Structure 1
Amino acid sequence: MKVEIWSDYVCPFCYIGKRRFEMALNKFEHKERIEVIYRSFELDPGADANSGISTLEMLSKKYGMSIQQAKANTENVAQQAAEVGLTFNFDGQVVTNTFDSHRLMHYAASQGKDTELSERLFKAHFTDNDNVGNRETLAQLAGEVGLDAAAAAQILASDDYADAVRGEEDEGSTLGIRGVPFYVFDRKYAVSGAQSPETFLSTLIKAWEEKHPTLVQVEGDDDVLCTDGVCAPDAKRS
């Protein structure tokens, strides 16, 4: 069964939601048979990759508040992150463009390293305060998760996977996705936002049971040609 996750690497609730979903998946009986696919979504496609603007400055300007007020407003989000074992450092975060991050994720997926890179990109932005829009930084992060850093740098310097990113963004728009995180379970059920692990788990169970219905045996009259109503191969047959 497939679970597709549309998210962006500068979205705090995408990281929190990722951890909550993983908590649910770890409790799911059939977790080894779940394919998780990370899809592309940009919260701010027009952002400058090297803006030099802090997240707190951006929030202050966007909502017409002081830096201190912006910082106070992020404390609740940081607390929610801490509750699932994550450390958010809003003070040092910078506004950036994530298009290249998503392109790099497609390369990682082709090498079987998408799970590792996704986690590393989130941690880089929210905990380490690295610029996940900077190509040199991205190549370094790729190397840290076992990818070829030189190959990653070459891909980032080209237009490779650009169409793939835009294609997923267009697909998300067609599905009605206007914000992230957004989880699609086998293209039948959807969960929007960083919901509780219980919500994710119940959706996993529901989608799984619909895809893999359990046969229910009902009682009936015994067949005179069989024993106890069950016909088995004849042991005497050669």
Structure 2
Amino acid sequence: MGKKRLEDALTKTNENVKVVYRSFQLDPTLPKDINMSLSEAIAKKYGISIEQSKANNENIKKMALEVGLDFQLDTLILTNTFDAHRLTMLAKKHGLMNEMTDRLLHAYYTESKHIGDHQTLVELAKEIGLDEDEVKKMLSSNDMAEEVQADQQEASELGIRSIPFFLINRKYTITGAQPTETFVQAIEEIAKQDGPFTEITDEGVTCDENGCEIPKK
């Protein structure tokens, strides 16, 4: 949802913003195959009932619909996403990272596909124009692992612990799926403060559910 709201915000501002996706796993220790539903996993992680967990998921589904997303959380297949991230890094080499990211997210949240399964990843990659043999070769090796790990190490150094997380000009942060208006406000005010996303200063801004606070010069 945060990604969609950011995309909506970019259509409402004249600023020339370049979006770059980074690899991040909330739990890198997860196995590829998990015999547990999302509701069960959330209930276990936060110590709440299955009913509470399902109610939370229903709220998320309703919020997603408001921005045009069809989340099928009841049938979502939990998995370790490390190989999916490696695939996005391969796609990046071919200028298709955005397309691969969109396809993976739709497959995971809407189509309930197992994006930890190699054959599934191959089929998704073919859909956006990647070469099948190249994808299979990458998945059967450790290629792109260092690139994913480098992103995750950088996220750790930056103190990132949750998703979605947005870093603008490498110093301004927006956490969570904020309203579209919050993104618009942040982008426009940062552009006024720093110029057209080219000048970097030492000061920063943090945006949360209460909006954005831009430091005064």
Match of 1:144 in 2: 127
| Mapped partners of 2:48, 2:18: distance in 1 | 42
8 Å Cα contact 2:26/2:161 also seen in 1: no
TM-score normalised by L of structure 1? 0.77
Following TM superposition, by how much is the alpha carbon of 1:63 offset from its aligned partner in structure 2, in angstroms? 3.8
**2: CA distance, partners of 1:210 / 1:65:** 44
**Could you tell me how far apart the structure 2 residues matched to 1:176 and 1:69 are?**
29
Q: Kindly indicate whether the alpha-carbon contact (under 8 Å) linking 1:89 and 1:127 is maintained by their aligned counterparts in 2.
A: yes
**Which residue is equivalent to 2:9?**
24
TM-score normalized by structure 2? 0.85
Q: CA deviation at 1:209?
A: 2.6
Aligned to 2:102: 119
- Root mean square deviation, CA, Å: 1.6
Q: Post-superposition shift, 1:64?
A: 4.3
Greater relative contact order structure (CA < 8 Å, 6+ sep): 1
- What is aligned with 2:155? 172
Identity %, equivalent residues: 42
User: Mind listing any 5+ residue stretches in structure 1 that lack a counterpart?
Assistant: 1-15, 214-238
Structure index of larger Rg: 1
Aligned to 2:208: none
* SS at structure 2 position matched to 1:191: strand
Q: 1:65 to 1:202 in 2, by over 3 A?
A: closer
Deviation at 1:156, TM superposition (A): 1.1
Measured in 2, the distance between the counterparts of 1:59 and 1:175 equals 26
Q: Secondary structure at the match of 1:49?
A: coil
Indicate whether 1:40 and 2:23 are aligned: yes
5+ long unaligned stretches in structure 2: 197-217
Aligned length: 196
Task: Determine if contact 1:48/1:95 at 8 Å carries over to the other structure.
Answer: no
Query: Partner amino acid for 2:56?
Result: N
Counterpart of 1:203 in structure 2: which amino acid?
A: A
- Post-superposition shift, 1:60? 3.4
**Partner in structure 1 of residue 180 of structure 2:** 197
* Superposition deviation, residue 51 in structure 1: 1.9
Indicate conservation of the 8 Å contact 2:126/2:132, yes or no. yes
Q: CA deviation at 1:70?
A: 2.5
What is the aligned counterpart of 2:190 among 192, 207, 212?
Answer: 207
For residues 57 and 185 of structure 1, the distance between their equivalents in structure 2, rounded to whole angstroms, comes to 35
2:179 partner letter = S
Match of 2:144 among 151, 155, 161: 161
